[in-house]
Structure 1
Amino acid sequence: MQTITNGLQTVLDAITGAAAEYPMLGIWYTTVIRFVLPVLALLILLTVIRSLLTVPHIPETWAYISLPNGERVPLTHWENLIGRAKNNDVILSYPSISRTHAAINRNDKGEWTLYDLDSTGGTTVNGYTVDGDAILEEGDVVSFGGVETVFLPLTVSEKRSQRQLRAEETRPVSPWGLLVLLTMFQVFTAIQLIVSMGEKATVNIPLVFLGLTATMWIYCLTFRAMRRVGFEMELIAFFLCTLGLSVTASTNPDDLLKIFLTMLGGLFGFMILCFILRNLENAQKIRWVMAAGAIGMLAITLVAGTGAYGAKLWLKLGPISIQPSEIAKICYIFAGAATLDRLFKKRNLTLFIVLTGMCGGCLALMNDFGTALIFFVTFLVIAFMRSGDWATLALICSGCGIGGMMLLKLKAHVAARFAVWGHAWEHASDSGFQQVRTMSASASGGLIGVGAGNGWLKGIFAADTDLVYGMLCEEFGFIIAFLAILCIITLAVFSVRACRAGRSSFYTIAACAASSMMVVQTCLNVFGAVDLLPLTGVTFPFVSNGGSAMLSAWGLLAFLKATDTRQNASFAVKLPSRKQIKQEDEIDNYTDYTEDYNDYMEDDYEED
């Protein structure tokens, strides 16, 4: 490590020495690099975004239901609704069948279970009435309201053909060229920061950017060796982290190493969470542990937390300061997601509403109203996906709206933020000071920015957190700042598209909730900084300076990664082992040989 540090110090001294001896060299470098970085960002992100938004999500077929007329209806999810209604996965248009009649679910082991959803006509398996649920086996005769069907699995040949088709049609973009471009972006940014800071530049700048570059290459090479081919989400995260490290280096160079280490911790947590999500049964088991964790962290912060302006947001653990509400976001989504068989149990939804009320109450008492708003929007998304009841959601929104108006009467500092909203220029020297400076700095950056480290907004309080969008616009320009927003939107759109082919409602609900949380958080950060919304103090995912926020952003990304069912794309989706594929190929080859032999014997018999 000391050898690497000494080498980087030599490089740092060479750059700063050249810039000091030849001032025009630094000026020319900044001038050129201001145009180069937006071009690199466009090449990287437009390629990644195009791949995420254009690659088709071909549904996986897991089994079939054979109808009385001989038609085979595929079961394309692990959880399938059956009934007359058009929103069912399997539509059976028979008068004796209820609108939502039954559900057929699959677990990680490949075992299938049939659930009767209080249907009028009843459900039977091989003549036995289903009271609640029943195990399904290959060839079972299932009667829905008197309509007999047969449950059929996929053949080995069909499994192999499906894998081949999905591998050809859903292959993501290759990451290697993009990694080279992103490496160039990181190197050029690090040099620009050194040039702009001059003698104040420390060895942490090249050390951290080298560490980031090495981390993303090692990550991609490791998982490519594990037969994974989809890295678009991670490339977006690494790009945003690059911007975040640059912002931190510009405003608080002493925090640079800390933020990099928390980024590594977030990446490690992302991988752990993805591996947990691979096993749906285990993910379900820890839901209520996560719920208890969310309440516990917020309650401890409420009692023992520290902060400013009446808000208790941080816990001090020796030299380390954490913001538990950021970690609670992950726990909350984990607890809110549910598999299909649990969605029809009112007790589960009631408990989730209680969990939401307790989390919201803690956040309100902590005066963390920005995070409370994010939790509320996430609750609406999860509640709608679990119930589909617009009337209930409208009632909840009305009640919360009344509560919000009462809050403005009770909390003077919250009311002050709303009072200045839309009138920042009228209060440029007091309550609108931050927004006015952010808008001025954003405008001064133009399309290509003034260069990393050359901005003046970094001298304003919370420039690298609440006002980070202004720093992006000023130092990197509007093009890169807009691309950063587009990255978050792309992740959300991808998750919604992927959910159509999702395996389980657990993954679907979790991904939509996580993407909604990221989008709302980004909107509050960006629009609050430019006075289009009240300034709430929430962070920009992956970009804002803050260790807890970085951990939270990587954790939310894991839920999105779990919805990526493109063939071999995501390590959060378990693949069949090489041994299993080999056995299936042997069975398929033996089946082909047997069929060919039988055809030959039949032809020979006919000739005789």
Structure 2
Amino acid sequence: MQLVFIEVSKYIFAFLLCFYAAAAYRGAVMKEEKRKFTYAFQNVIMFMIHLLGFLILYQLNNEDIKYLILYFAQFIYLFVTIFVYDVLYPKASRLLVNNMCMLMAVGFIMICRLDYDKCVKQFLIAAGGTIITFFIPALLKRVKSFRNMGWIYCITGITLLLAVLFCTEVFGANLVLTLGPVSVQPGEFVKILFVMFVASMFNKSTSFEQTVKVTVIAAIHVIILVISKDLGAALIFFVVYLMMLFIATRKLSYVGIGFAAGSVAAAGAYKIFNHVRQRVLIWKDPWSTIDSTGYQICQSLFAIGMGSWFGSGLAQGLPDKIPVAEKDFMFSAITEEFGAIFAVALLLICLNNLILMMNIASRCKTLFYRLVAVGLGVTYGFQVFLTVGGAMKMIPMTGVTLPFVSYGGSSIVSSLIMFALINGMYNMRQDEVEIKNESAGKNTKLKKEKHKA
């Protein structure tokens, strides 16, 4: 009976997430006042998927009560997160909030399936980070000096990146800064500081001299990341800067020069740095080193292939055969047990987030906020591309996480901060629209009164 339940659940998971993704796109093109049913529909599906996942894990683990306790704690967390955003920031993008919670729900299920203790840790960090991020939209609205703190963002970011260089390597790279019992991956937060720095500097001026200055400092960030072997973050910083440069200056020639310089730098890094060369060689032919350096990517490809359309079923596959599956290869683990249809729907939700972010950016009148929204949106979208592309061997593996889904305290907190900032800017824009409409209404009323007089 248990096996029948798991077999049926594969199809339920896939269809539910497809319905959720369809609702996300339908909601994106509807008027705000007509979205309430869509929001409720998404929430019902999210809680159904979350409940079904933990019911299966509860049954497969000898009905251990700890799984039910963790489920109810996460249910309360997800419900409260949606409720608080709805009450404190009714003008925030509920679609973004729902998508964020949906991705976390999927992540909680899969991390719990791989390692219960890590799921508890992830949940506690997410809950603590969410409480902190509740204040960000309000701060963004009230503190106008954020746009003038460019050098503070720059100095803080570079200092953190340099500090990591002298720390112990983790999985062959300098990524983690350890402070007593707490380990933090500063690169996750420096991404946000970097976006704020570039936006602040271009908000002051987009002259040629300013552009050169900002480009040099951006290059310093990238070089430090390459030296510390954090290739994924280095690529993200590079692409994000080029996009923000284009939005700020509207000069396609700058982007062309940037890509050309980046290509030359990449070729140079391949020649100079052994770890860069090693990543490319593994990507080109992982099968020849399947017993050593190519083992991870080969197992990832096996997992994706074994998943087929509807997967092997939750806890019925072998994703734990992939080293560090809960971090760098979460997409592969999900595809194996939930199937390709579920995985594609998950990617469509991520794409929906990117579209919503770019839409919010287009509505921001102030250059600083528009650049921040674009920078954070590209950071999010490109990170999803890197982790999925690396897992599928489309590109060399870069070691970045799938936002909200993969295990990692720094990753989930930084993702929560990014979404809170985006929602803060959307909230501000909605206020501007209301003020504009009220002003237009008053002007119309005055004109009518004058006409009557």
Is the pair's TM-score, using the shorter chain for normalization, greater than 0.5? yes
* 1:6-62, Cα deviation, whole Å (9 max, x unpaired): xxxxxxxxxxxxxxxxxx3x222212221211222122221012212x236xxxxxx
Determine which of 130, 148, 151 is the counterpart of 1:267.
130
1:485 counterpart residue number? 347
- Judging by fraction of residues, say which structure has more strand: 1
> Aligned pair 1:283/2:283, yes or no?
no
Counterparts in 2 of 1:594 and 1:244: CA distance versus 1, 3 Å: same
* 1:328-376, Cα deviation, whole Å (9 max, x unpaired): 1111111111498624344543442233122112212211112111111
1:236 counterpart residue number? 99
Determine which of 86, 91, 96 is the counterpart of 1:224.
86
> Aligned pair 1:367/2:229, yes or no?
yes
> Aligned pair 1:423/2:320, yes or no?
no
Q: Which amino acid aligns with 1:30?
A: I
> Aligned pair 1:192/2:56, yes or no?
yes
Aligned residues: 451
Deviation larger for 318-327 or 510-519: 510-519
> 2 CA distance for matches of 1:392 and 1:228?
37
Counterparts in 2 of 1:245 and 1:391: CA distance versus 1, 3 Å: same
Using the TM superposition, give the Cα deviation of residue 172 of structure 1 relative to its aligned residue in structure 2, in angstroms: 6.5
Determine which of 397, 414, 425 is the counterpart of 1:535.
397
Please tell me whether the aligned partners of residues 329 and 375 of structure 1 are also in contact (alpha carbons under 8 angstroms): yes
* 1:184-242, Cα deviation, whole Å (9 max, x unpaired): 1111111112223336x561x33333233222322333343354374111111111111
1:388 counterpart residue number? 250
Determine which of 248, 254, 257 is the counterpart of 2:111.
248
1:302 counterpart residue number? 165
* 1:551-603, Cα deviation, whole Å (9 max, x unpaired): 12222223433453xxxxx4x55638x9x99x98997899599559x55xxxx
RMSD between superposed Cα atoms in Å = 3.0
Determine which of 472, 481, 497 is the counterpart of 2:334.
472
Using the TM superposition, give the Cα deviation of residue 436 of structure 1 relative to its aligned residue in structure 2, in angstroms: 1.8
Q: Which amino acid aligns with 1:560?
A: I
Q: Secondary structure at the match of 1:295?
A: helix
Q: Which amino acid aligns with 2:83?
A: L
1:526 counterpart residue number? 388
Deviation larger for 285-294 or 431-440: 285-294
Deviation larger for 367-376 or 424-433: 424-433
Q: Secondary structure at the match of 2:174?
A: strand
Q: Which amino acid aligns with 1:55?
A: M
> 2 CA distance for matches of 1:355 and 1:245?
38
Q: Which amino acid aligns with 1:507?
A: Y
Using the TM superposition, give the Cα deviation of residue 279 of structure 1 relative to its aligned residue in structure 2, in angstroms: 4.2
* 1:83-108, Cα deviation, whole Å (9 max, x unpaired): xxxxxxxxxxxxxxxxxxxxxxxxxx
Please tell me whether the aligned partners of residues 364 and 429 of structure 2 are also in contact (alpha carbons under 8 angstroms): no
> Aligned pair 1:55/2:30, yes or no?
yes
User: Map of 1:387-406 to 2, 5 A cutoff?
Assistant: 387-406=249-268
Please tell me whether the aligned partners of residues 192 and 451 of structure 1 are also in contact (alpha carbons under 8 angstroms): no
Q: Which amino acid aligns with 2:30?
A: V
* 1:141-184, Cα deviation, whole Å (9 max, x unpaired): xxxxxxxxxxxxxxxxxxxxxxxxxx65x856542232122111
Please tell me whether the aligned partners of residues 40 and 185 of structure 1 are also in contact (alpha carbons under 8 angstroms): yes
> Aligned pair 1:575/2:439, yes or no?
no
1:413 counterpart residue number? 275
> 1 CA distance for matches of 2:65 and 2:194?
39
Percentage identity across aligned positions?
21
Please tell me whether the aligned partners of residues 436 and 530 of structure 1 are also in contact (alpha carbons under 8 angstroms): no
Q: Normalised by the size of structure 2, how large is the TM-score?
A: 0.89
Determine which of 500, 510, 513 is the counterpart of 2:372.
510
1:206 counterpart residue number? 68
> 2 CA distance for matches of 1:309 and 1:187?
34
Counterparts in 2 of 1:587 and 1:517: CA distance versus 1, 3 Å: closer
Q: Which amino acid aligns with 2:369?
A: Y
2:188 counterpart residue number? 326
Of the two, which has the highest radius of gyration? 1
> 2 CA distance for matches of 1:594 and 1:486?
52
Please tell me whether the aligned partners of residues 50 and 105 of structure 2 are also in contact (alpha carbons under 8 angstroms): yes
Counterparts in 2 of 1:532 and 1:492: CA distance versus 1, 3 Å: same
Q: Normalised by the size of structure 1, how large is the TM-score?
A: 0.68
Q: Which runs of 5+ in 2 are unaligned?
A: none
Higher relative contact order (CA 8 A, sep 6+): 2
Please tell me whether the aligned partners of residues 208 and 257 of structure 1 are also in contact (alpha carbons under 8 angstroms): yes
> 1 CA distance for matches of 2:190 and 2:252?
27
* 1:389-425, Cα deviation, whole Å (9 max, x unpaired): 3333323332332222222223223212211324233
- Judging by fraction of residues, say which structure has more helix: 2
Q: Secondary structure at the match of 1:198?
A: coil
Please tell me whether the aligned partners of residues 287 and 334 of structure 1 are also in contact (alpha carbons under 8 angstroms): yes
Counterparts in 2 of 1:270 and 1:424: CA distance versus 1, 3 Å: same
* 1:239-260, Cα deviation, whole Å (9 max, x unpaired): 1111211221122221112101
1:30 counterpart residue number? 6
Q: Which runs of 5+ in 1 are unaligned?
A: 1-23, 57-166, 565-569, 600-608
Counterparts in 2 of 1:536 and 1:500: CA distance versus 1, 3 Å: closer
Please tell me whether the aligned partners of residues 92 and 424 of structure 2 are also in contact (alpha carbons under 8 angstroms): no
* 1:100-157, Cα deviation, whole Å (9 max, x unpaired): xxxxxxxxxxxxxxxxxxxxxxxxxxxxxxxxxxxxxxxxxxxxxxxxxxxxxxxxxx
> 2 CA distance for matches of 1:365 and 1:477?
37
Q: Secondary structure at the match of 1:556?
A: helix
Please tell me whether the aligned partners of residues 428 and 436 of structure 1 are also in contact (alpha carbons under 8 angstroms): yes
Determine which of 46, 51, 55 is the counterpart of 2:22.
46
Counterparts in 2 of 1:405 and 1:225: CA distance versus 1, 3 Å: closer
Counterparts in 2 of 1:268 and 1:345: CA distance versus 1, 3 Å: farther
Counterparts in 2 of 1:175 and 1:222: CA distance versus 1, 3 Å: same
> 2 CA distance for matches of 1:446 and 1:383?
41
* 1:459-496, Cα deviation, whole Å (9 max, x unpaired): 32111111111101011111121122112212222233
> Aligned pair 1:349/2:207, yes or no?
no
Please tell me whether the aligned partners of residues 16 and 45 of structure 2 are also in contact (alpha carbons under 8 angstroms): yes
Please tell me whether the aligned partners of residues 296 and 322 of structure 2 are also in contact (alpha carbons under 8 angstroms): yes
